[in-house]
Amino acid sequence: MKKKKIGFRPLALCYACLFYLFLYLPIAVVVAFSFNTSQLNVTFQGFTFEWYGRMFENVQLMQSFFNTLIVAAVSTLLSVILGTLCAVGMYRFKFRGRETVSNLLYIPIVIPEIVLGIAVLAFFTMVKIQMSMATLIISHVTFSMPFVVITVRSRLAGFDPSVEEAARDLGANDWRIFRRVTLPMILPGVLSGAMLALTMSLDDVVVSFFTTGPDSMTLPIKILGMVRKGVSPDVNALSTLMILGTVLIMLAATFFEMRMEKKEEA
C-alpha cells in the first residue's frame, strides 16, 4: 500500500520538534558543557577543549572506562556465542521441555534488574567467589544472552530447514553446514543481538553495582560515585566521546545491515 503524502501541517511539525527536543536536549546539554570553560554545569561561559585533555589525565576515570570496554567486549562475545548456540539448538532439536526452556530464557529480561543483581550477588557469595572482573562479566552475560537468543530465533523463524538438508546432501558435515550455511543466514540476527548485548553491558549500573570487584569498577559506577560531588566537565567530555562512538557503531551496523539486505533481496 502506498502511503498517502501529506502537506505542510504546522501542528504536526511542532509536535515532532518537541518530541525530538525532549529526546535529545539532555544529550545536547552534556555535549555543550563538555566544551564549557566553567567548572560548573550551570551556565555556558566559553569554549574550550581543556576537559578532553583533563579526561585523559584522570587515571581512575580512564581505568574505569577501559574496564567497561573490556567487560562489554568479553560479555558480548560470550553472550553471542552462547546465545547463538542456544537458539540454533532450540531450532534444530525437538526435545521434551523445549517450551519450558524457551520460556525460562525470558525471565532474566522480565525480572527487575535489582532482583537479578541481588540474586547474582547472593549466588557468588554462597559459592564463595570473590567479586572481580570475572564475576562482572558472568553477570553481564546473564542478562544479555537472552537478547541474543531472541534476535537469533526470530531470524531462524523463517528459515527453510531443507536448506540445511541440501547442504548435508551435498556432503557437508554438521560443522560445515553451520559455518557455510546456517551462520551466514542468521548473521543479521546475530549482529543485532550483539549490538543489544553491547549496549546493555556498556551502561549497566544496577547489576554491576552488586557484582563488581574493587579493581573492576566500570564507568557507569564510577560516574555514579562522582555525581555526589557534582559532575565534573571531564565526565561530560568522556560522555560526548562515548556518544560519538555509539553513533558511529550504529551507523556502521545500519550500513552493514542494509548491504546484507540488498544482497539478499535485490
Partner 1 sequence: MKNIIVRLRNIEKIYGGKSVIDHLNLNVARGEFLTLLGPSGCGKTTTLRMIGGFEDTDGGQIFLEDKDVAGKAPNHRDVNTVFQSYALFPHMNVFDNVAFGLVEKKVPKAEIKKRVDEMIELVQLQGMEKRMPSQMSGGQKQRVAIARALVNRPKVLLLDEPLGALDLKLRKQMQFELKELQKKLKITFIYVTHDQEEALTMSDRIAVMNEGRIEQLGTPVEIYNHPKTKFVADFIGESNIFEAYIEEKKGNRISLVMESGKVELDAPDFEYDEMVYVCVRPENMKASMEPRDGFTLRGTVMEHIFVGSTIKTIIELPSSQLVKMTNPPEDEVIPVGTNVYLHWLPQKTVVMHTREDRVYEIIEGAGNEKEEQ
Name the site residues for partner 1 (rule: CB under 8 A).
Answer: 160, 162-163, 165-173, 176, 180-181, 184-185, 263-266
Burial of 251 (0-12, 13-18, 19+ CB in 10 A): exposed
The DSSP output letter for 40 is S
User: Three cell numbers at 198?
Assistant: 553491547
- The least CB distance from residue 161 to partner 1, in Å, is 9
Q: Are 45 and 36 in contact (CB under 8 A)?
A: yes
- The least CB distance from residue 94 to partner 1, in Å, is 13
Q: Are 180 and 167 in contact (CB under 8 A)?
A: yes
Name which of 133 and 172 has its Cβ closer to partner 1.
Answer: 172
- The least CB distance from residue 82 to partner 1, in Å, is 24
- The least CB distance from residue 214 to partner 1, in Å, is 47
Name which of 18 and 183 has its Cβ closer to partner 1.
Answer: 183
- Give me the residues paired with residue 36 across strands: 47
**Distance from C-alpha of 148 to C-alpha of 195, rounded to nearest angstrom:** 9
- The least CB distance from residue 187 to partner 1, in Å, is 8
The sign one gets for the Cα dihedral 247, 217, 67, 36 is positive
Name which of 184 and 245 has its Cβ closer to partner 1.
Answer: 184
Name which of 170 and 251 has its Cβ closer to partner 1.
Answer: 170
**Distance from C-alpha of 190 to C-alpha of 126, rounded to nearest angstrom:** 34
Name which of 99 and 160 has its Cβ closer to partner 1.
Answer: 160
Radius of gyration of the chain, Cα coordinates, nearest whole angstrom: 23
